[in-house]
Amino acid sequence: MSTAVFADEVVTEARVRYLRVPGLAGEIALVTLDNGHDHTRPSTFGPGGLASLDAALDEIAAHTPAPAAIAVTGKPFVFAVGADLSGVPAVTSADQAREMAETGHRVFRRLKDSAIPTFAFVNGVALGGGLELALHCSYRTIASTAVVAFPEVFLGLVPGWGGTQLLPDLIGIDAAVTVVVENALAQNTMTPAPKAARLGIADAVFEPADFLERSLEWAAGVLAGSVAVSRPEVDRTAWDGAIERARAVVAGRTRNASPGAVRAVELLDLARHGVDGEAFTAGTAAEDDALTDLLTSDPLRASLYSFDLVNKRAKRPAGAPDKGLARKVTKVGVVGAGLMASQLALLFVRQLKVPVVLTDVDQARVDRGVAWVHGELEKLAARGRLSADRLNQLTGLVTGSLSKDAFADADLVIEAVFEELSVKQQVFAEVEAIVSPECVLATNTSALSVTEMASELEHPERVVGLHFFNPVAVLPLVEVVRAERTDDATLATAFAVGRALKKSCVLVADAPAFVVNRLLTRFLGEVTSAVEQGTPVAVADRALDPLGLPMSPFELLTLVGPPVALHVAERMHEAFPDRFAVGEGLRRMVELGKTSVYSEPGVVDPDLAGIDAGDSPLTGEQVRERAVEALAQEIGLMLDEGVVQAVQDVDLCMLLGAGWPFWLGGISAYLDRTGVSERVTGARFLPRGVASLPA
Partner 1 sequence: MSSRERPRPLREVVFVDGVRTPFGKAGPTGVYAETRADDLVVRVIRELLRRNPALPPERVDEVAIAATTQIGDQGLTIGRTAALLAGLPRSVPGYAIDRMCAGAMTAVTTTASGIAFGAYDVAIAGGVEHMGRHPMGEGADPNPRFFSEKLVDESALVMGATAENLHDRFPHLTRERADAFALASQQRYAKAVANGQIGPELVPVATRSAEHGWGLATADEPPRPGTTLEGLAGLKTPFRPHGHVTAGNAAGLNDGATGCILAAEEVAAELGLTAGMRLVGYGFVGVEPEVMGVGPVPSTERALARTGLTIDDIGLFELNEAFAVQVLAFLDHFGIADDDPRVNPWGGAIAVGHPLASSGVRLMTQLSRQFAERPDVRYGLTAMCVGLGMGATVIWENPAWEGTE
- Catalytic residue, chosen from 9, 13, 99, 152, is 152
- 144 versus 470: smaller Cβ distance to partner 1: 144
Collapsing DSSP states into helix, strand and coil, what is residue 525?
helix
CB of 67 to partner 1, least distance (A): 13
Q: Which of these ranges, 73-81, 168-176, 192-200, 271-279, lies near partner 1 under the rule CB under 8 A?
A: 73-81
54 binds partner 1 (CB under 8 A): no
16 binds partner 1 (CB under 8 A): yes
17 binds partner 1 (CB under 8 A): yes
Give the x/- contact pattern for partner 1 in 148-187, rule: CB under 8 A: ----------------------------------------
Q: Which of these ranges, 14-22, 296-304, 378-386, 511-519, lies near partner 1 under the rule CB under 8 A?
A: 14-22
678 annotated active-site: no
- 143 versus 155: smaller Cβ distance to partner 1: 143
CB of 123 to partner 1, least distance (A): 9
Distances (CA, A) of 21 to 16, 28, 206, 219, 495: 15, 7, 17, 9, 54
Q: Which residues contact 376 (CB under 8 A, 6 or more apart)?
A: 346
Contact 689, 89 (CB under 8 A): yes
388 binds partner 1 (CB under 8 A): no
**Burial label, 693 (beta-carbon count in 10 A; 0-12, 13-18, 19+):** middle
- 19 versus 380: smaller Cβ distance to partner 1: 19
Q: Which of these ranges, 10-18, 295-303, 539-547, 559-567, lies near partner 1 under the rule CB under 8 A?
A: 10-18
111 binds partner 1 (CB under 8 A): no
Give the x/- contact pattern for partner 1 in 399-438, rule: CB under 8 A: ----------------------------------------
- Catalytic residue, chosen from 132, 182, 461, 532, is 132
30 binds partner 1 (CB under 8 A): yes
> What is the spatial distance between Cα 480 and Cα 630, in angstroms, rounded to a whole number?
25
Q: Where are the alpha helices (DSSP H) in 79-178?
A: 94-112, 129-135, 152-155, 163-171, 173-177
CB of 57 to partner 1, least distance (A): 14
Which residue among 2, 3, 63, 76 contacts partner 1 (CB under 8 A)? Answer: 76
- 76 versus 241: smaller Cβ distance to partner 1: 76
Site for partner 1 in 191-230 (CB under 8 A): 207, 209-213, 216-217
- 16 versus 551: smaller Cβ distance to partner 1: 16
- 216 versus 515: smaller Cβ distance to partner 1: 216
Q: What is the 3-state composition of the chain as percent helix, strand, coil, each rounded to the nearest 5?
A: 50, 15, 35
**Burial label, 81 (beta-carbon count in 10 A; 0-12, 13-18, 19+):** buried
- 223 versus 676: smaller Cβ distance to partner 1: 223
> What is the spatial distance between Cα 552 and Cα 457, in angstroms, rounded to a whole number?
42
Which residue among 5, 9, 34, 120 contacts partner 1 (CB under 8 A)? Answer: 34
Q: Which of these ranges, 28-36, 133-141, 314-322, 433-441, lies near partner 1 under the rule CB under 8 A?
A: 28-36
CB of 33 to partner 1, least distance (A): 9
132 annotated active-site: yes
Q: Which of these ranges, 32-40, 111-119, 305-313, 367-375, lies near partner 1 under the rule CB under 8 A?
A: 32-40
31 binds partner 1 (CB under 8 A): yes
Beta-strand relationship, 332-335 and 118-122: unpaired
Identity at 72, one-letter amino acid code: V
- 22 versus 65: smaller Cβ distance to partner 1: 22
Q: Phi first, then psi: give them for residue 643, nearest 5 degrees.
A: -65, -35
Which residue among 32, 445, 493, 648 contacts partner 1 (CB under 8 A)? Answer: 32
CB of 31 to partner 1, least distance (A): 7
CB of 213 to partner 1, least distance (A): 5
Which residue among 2, 3, 15, 619 contacts partner 1 (CB under 8 A)? Answer: 15
Contact 157, 300 (CB under 8 A): yes
Q: Where are the alpha helices (DSSP H) in 593-646?
A: 620-641
574 binds partner 1 (CB under 8 A): no
CB of 61 to partner 1, least distance (A): 18
> What is the spatial distance between Cα 169 and Cα 302, in angstroms, rounded to a whole number?
32
CB of 161 to partner 1, least distance (A): 22
19 binds partner 1 (CB under 8 A): yes
> What is the spatial distance between Cα 628 and Cα 672, in angstroms, rounded to a whole number?
11
How many CB atoms are located within 10 Å of the residue 578 CB? 6
- 18 versus 418: smaller Cβ distance to partner 1: 18
43 binds partner 1 (CB under 8 A): no
User: Is there a cis peptide before residue 65, judged by omega within 30 degrees of 0?
Assistant: yes
CB of 208 to partner 1, least distance (A): 10
How many CB atoms are located within 10 Å of the residue 64 CB? 5
The DSSP-derived string for 280-338 is: HHHHHHHHHHHHHHHHTSHHHHHHHHHHHIIIIITTS-TTPPPGGGPPP---EEEE--S
The secondary structure of residue 66, as a DSSP letter, is P
Q: Is the dihedral of CA 48, 53, 56, 62 positive or negative?
A: negative
Q: At what angle do helices 239-254 and 259-270 cross, to 10 degrees?
A: 180
Q: Which residues contact 358 (CB under 8 A, 6 or more apart)?
A: 334, 336, 337, 341, 342, 345, 366, 369, 370, 373, 398, 399, 400, 401
Identity at 448, one-letter amino acid code: L
Which residue among 1, 5, 21, 148 contacts partner 1 (CB under 8 A)? Answer: 21
Q: At what angle do helices 584-591 and 516-532 cross, to 10 degrees?
A: 100
- 206 versus 662: smaller Cβ distance to partner 1: 206
Identity at 621, one-letter amino acid code: E
206, β-bridge pairs:
143
Q: For 46, left (φ over 0), alpha (ψ -120 to 50), or beta?
A: beta
CB of 15 to partner 1, least distance (A): 3
CB of 383 to partner 1, least distance (A): 23
The secondary structure of residue 537, as a DSSP letter, is H
Q: Which of these ranges, 24-32, 359-367, 516-524, 650-658, lies near partner 1 under the rule CB under 8 A?
A: 24-32
668 binds partner 1 (CB under 8 A): no
- 214 versus 688: smaller Cβ distance to partner 1: 214
CB of 21 to partner 1, least distance (A): 6
- 72 versus 270: smaller Cβ distance to partner 1: 72
Question: Catalytic residue positions?
Answer: 132, 152
Contact residues for partner 1 (CB under 8 A)? 15-17, 19-22, 30-32, 34, 36, 73, 75-76, 207, 209-213, 216-217
